[in-house]
Amino acid sequence: MRIEELEDLKVTLRVNDTDLNEYGDESDEAHSTTPARTFVEAEAGASFAIVANFGLGFRYNNGRDSIVCHVYMDGKYATGRVWAPSHGHADVTHDVNGVLSCTRGVWSLQRFTFSDLQTDDTAGKVDFKERFKHLGTIRATFTRCTETGKGTYDGGHDFSAAGEQGVHEKCLKGRAISKQATLGKAEVSACTGWVSTQYPYGKDPFASFTFKYRSKTDLQIEGIIPRSPSPVPLEDRNPDDLSAEEARELVRRHRAREAAVKTEVKKEKRAHSQVIDDDDEDDDVTIASENRSRKRHRASRDSGVEIIDLSED
């Protein structure tokens, strides 16, 4: 990412020695050239660094100038680095990859890392508009300064991730944010000390770069990158374009459908046969009933008078 009036300063967000792809910010505030803003894709577990390249044409004003880079993650100050001038002899690249601390003379580094953001509907909502206003952003500012001395330091740092205790869903204010910037485990660092600085030109930065980090799904939800197209069903594809495995899968599906149809036909035949049997049973009952109620004639043995038997026997 560059600023139009500072073409010789390029700032990127780097993961595993590769600069992340940048996607334009179409918001109204991004139309100005300073500060610069862009979207990048973040993956949980990936460590990142802010990388600054000062080209041959970059001007330090004079040979005594240095540059201090301040890093803010999710709106909170994380750390700073001071870089001496290159005097214009060659391209110089610097990076900030984590937060330093020192304990009894031993320096340690906690690398910048992306992690999953935990949302919690029971988390507090006090002052959430300001506290989480910059959630999902990494900002690097650059200010001219001069070094006034060097020394040693013993102590930790007070940075903590903005969403370390969980974030209430309402704090996101409708934004698609599922990742956060935090720190990894401490590891030994080769840092040897610190420098003190003065700001003869004022403390206002001459350049500011903001990276709005999101997961791939978040970027798709916010319309920054297109959604993945739905795959064309195998049944609708040209058979000549199918791979061997896709063709086998299509045959398996066809056989499964045929088996399902045969099973359904058998069920219908059994149900139809049962209906016919039930009808026959009803007819037998009706006939038996008619036979039982039929009048039977019996001849009297005593006379020629005919007796009609109306009994049910």
pLDDT for 33: 46
pLDDT for 215: 94
pLDDT for 10: 93
pLDDT for 115: 93
Say how far apart CA 81 and CA 194 lie, in whole Å.
9
Count of Cβ atoms closer than 10 Å to residue 43 Cβ: 13
For residues 297, 300, 301 and 305, what is the CA-based torsion angle, rounded to 10 degrees? -130
Count of Cβ atoms closer than 10 Å to residue 71 Cβ: 23
DSSP 8-state assignment for residue 117: P
pLDDT for 168: 75
pLDDT for 140: 96
**Gyration radius of the chain's alpha carbons:** 41
Going residue by residue through the chain, which has 313 residues, state the pLDDT in tens, using 9 for 90 and above: 888 778 889 999 999 999 999 998 655 444 444 558 899 999 999 999 999 999 888 877 777 789 999 999 999 999 999 998 765 566 889 999 999 988 888 889 999 999 998 877 765 555 555 678 889 999 999 999 998 888 766 667 778 887 777 777 777 777 888 899 999 999 998 887 788 899 999 999 999 999 999 999 999 988 888 877 667 777 777 887 778 887 787 788 888 888 888 888 787 777 767 656 555 555 544 444 444 444 454 544 444 444 344 444 4
Say how far apart CA 45 and CA 115 lie, in whole Å.
6
pLDDT for 192: 76
